[in-house]
A and B are shown apart, each in its own frame.
Chain A
């Protein structure tokens, strides 16, 4: 986007298809046209992110943004976050955590592990739409760091 070379790819890790669809729809409505790569499980997402050599080198030079659901069937979003932050190539990738709880302890843990933004999925749909659309606006103005 505004780095002008490569458009940001949005990696969406979300096991609930309904949530994934709603997020996608609302991001699109906010005017974000970037590619969205969806994953329903942690393992598939991690193998994509880290690549075959497990170092994340495959994404070198590409700007990435990860939308991460904490509550996955096969592992927790925290595990994925930790693995991403351990990777030399991915550790500065922007990670936005999306989850159904607003438990303060969990929010703190996410920030401690290096989440950039934490968005609770609110029960009221208007708020959810609002949050997602603000996220879309946010995505259209921030400068996403490139994977080194």
Chain B
């Protein structure tokens, strides 16, 4: 019975722990890539924003220039509004993008240059507007014509183009990084998901395996319990049977040994009585003896005394016989059994050969089945068992027909079952248990016997780990079924006698 492989069950939490750590690592890596993605996209957005604001600055300057030109041409104040707005905002706008330009990698020289150019351009425009306002139109046009403003404007435009190129480049590179980071993020998330599926699958599998093992263990335990109960039941049966046998044994000893004792006691007293009668007669003077007393005395000597002695002697012989039989049975129960490899066909043929003269005398025959099994058991015990059964079949044959004894058998589930069937006189149903008891016989008492054979058979068969049963129809025949362990080594420690 396997409840759980210990190494396996220890490995389960370790594997789960390792999986959890790996998952945590994947989450951390994903976080890192997510952060990179965020950073890159912010950088790209910032670069784009810088470009926009630089263009806004440039458009302010352009607005200012357009406004200056309009005023110079028309001399109307209303054209100056965009210039005034640009003049107010340009510095603010410039300051707001200075740090971003530095961050984008635009050199301080370029920034200073741009600042000066924007300042110069504004100064030039302010000067022309002031000159025009003073009414010196030709002087204002001459300032424009000096091309100082145009050159500043061209250079500003060039710097703006450079800023645009720089920010575009940054945007492009950040875009590539963003794409990369996003791809890695995707990969790590996919990996995490796969890992998660594997982990959850593994955990479910382990839990299921564990549950299966528990179920199997529970089942095995239940089976074991059941087996134990069956075994206890069997043992209890054996014990009850042994107890019953012991009771019937003591009953038999009580009854059968007492019977001759009662005789011995009784006839001893009869002997005394007869002796006293004869002694009385002898003591009488011859004159006092009459015919009657002489007859009584003679009867005591001739009849009573020999009869009493005869009964005492036969009772003592009977007691001796009984004690010998009881001892023989007890010895059969304690004899060391051997473990012989036996071919039952050969063994039974030998047993039949030993009875050959009795078979010939009575005209009986024994038919052995051709497929008798091989067993490992005690040779002598088996010979005695089957010898007794054959002997009974010959002895209690039906006088109207010659005895025919069929022997067949097989091994089923480690138990050899041999049937000895005869066509004899049969046994009445009420006697079918009694015949196995010591000193008990059944039916017509016309054959010599002590009522020992079947008691002996039963004691021997039980020692071989089996039992003997009988079924019979009066006047038709009797079948004894002898079962015993096909391999006697399997009954060791069963505690049977």
Chain A contacts to B: CB under 8 angstroms: 16-19, 21-22, 25, 40-41, 43, 71, 73-76, 79, 99-101, 103, 121-126, 128-129
Closest to B314 in A: A18
Task: Report yes or no: A71 in contact with B259, Cβ–Cβ below 8 A.
Answer: yes
Contacting residue for B255 out of A18, A40, A41, A100, CB 8 A: A100
Chain A neighbourhood of B269, CB < 8 A: 125-126, 129
What are 12 A-B interface contacts by the 8 Å CB criterion?
A: A18-B267, A22-B263, A22-B267, A73-B440, A74-B431, A74-B445, A75-B431, A76-B434, A100-B254, A125-B266, A125-B268, A128-B265
Cα–Cα, bound, A10→B322 (Å): 31
Task: Report yes or no: A25 in contact with B270, Cβ–Cβ below 8 A.
Answer: yes
Closest to A23 in B: B266
Chain A CB within 8 A of B462 CB: no
Cα–Cα, bound, A128→B270 (Å): 12
Cβ proximity bits B256-294 to A, threshold 8 Å, 1 near / 0 not? 101111110111111000000000000000000000000
Cβ proximity bits B397-417 to A, threshold 8 Å, 1 near / 0 not? 000000000000000000000
Cα–Cα, bound, A126→B445 (Å): 33
Instruction: For the complex formed, measure the closest distance between the CB of A22 and the CB atoms of chain B, giving whole angstroms.
Output: 4
Task: Report yes or no: A128 in contact with B259, Cβ–Cβ below 8 A.
Answer: no
Cα–Cα, bound, A19→B269 (Å): 13
Chain A CB within 8 A of B458 CB: no
Contacting residue for A100 out of B259, B431, B439, CB 8 A: B259
Chain B neighbourhood of A101, CB < 8 A: 251, 254-255, 258
Contacting residue for B439 out of A73, A76, A121, CB 8 A: A73
Task: Report yes or no: A73 in contact with B263, Cβ–Cβ below 8 A.
Answer: no
Task: Report yes or no: A21 in contact with B307, Cβ–Cβ below 8 A.
Answer: yes
Contacting residue for A74 out of B254, B255, B260, B441, CB 8 A: B441
Task: Report yes or no: A22 in contact with B270, Cβ–Cβ below 8 A.
Answer: yes
Task: Report yes or no: B258 in contact with A74, Cβ–Cβ below 8 A.
Answer: no
Instruction: For the complex formed, measure the closest distance between the CB of B235 and the CB atoms of chain A, giving whole angstroms.
Output: 27
Chain A CB within 8 A of B7 CB: no
Chain B neighbourhood of A73, CB < 8 A: 439-441, 445, 451
Chain A neighbourhood of B184, CB < 8 A: none
Cα–Cα, bound, A19→B445 (Å): 19
Cα–Cα, bound, A99→B334 (Å): 33
Cα–Cα, bound, A122→B258 (Å): 9
Chain A CB within 8 A of B315 CB: yes
Task: Report yes or no: B259 in contact with A124, Cβ–Cβ below 8 A.
Answer: no
Interface centre among B263, B307, B434 (most CB of A within 10 A): B263
Cα–Cα, bound, A18→B439 (Å): 18
Cα–Cα, bound, A18→B268 (Å): 12
Closest to A127 in B: B265
Chain A CB within 8 A of B480 CB: no
Chain A CB within 8 A of B11 CB: no
Given A16-B260, A18-B267, A100-B258, 18 further pairs, Cβ under 8 A: A18-B260, A18-B311, A18-B314, A19-B263, A21-B311, A22-B270, A73-B441, A75-B442, A79-B430, A100-B259, A101-B254, A101-B258, A121-B258, A122-B262, A123-B258, A123-B262, A125-B262, A125-B268
Chain A CB within 8 A of B444 CB: yes
Interface centre among B254, B259, B311, B443 (most CB of A within 10 A): B259
Cβ proximity bits B420-462 to A, threshold 8 Å, 1 near / 0 not? 0000000000110010000111111100000100000000000
Chain B neighbourhood of A17, CB < 8 A: 311
Closest to A25 in B: B270
Cα–Cα, bound, A22→B267 (Å): 8
Cα–Cα, bound, A49→B430 (Å): 20
Cβ proximity bits B299-318 to A, threshold 8 Å, 1 near / 0 not? 00000000100010011000
Of all A-B residue pairs in the complex, the 6 with the closest CB atoms, nearest first, are: A18-B263, A125-B269, A22-B266, A100-B258, A18-B311, A125-B265
Task: Report yes or no: A74 in contact with B270, Cβ–Cβ below 8 A.
Answer: no
Chain A neighbourhood of B256, CB < 8 A: 71
Interface centre among A18, A99, A103 (most CB of B within 10 A): A18
Instruction: For the complex formed, measure the closest distance between the CB of B452 and the CB atoms of chain A, giving whole angstroms.
Output: 12
Instruction: For the complex formed, measure the closest distance between the CB of B305 and the CB atoms of chain A, giving whole angstroms.
Output: 14
Closest to A128 in B: B266
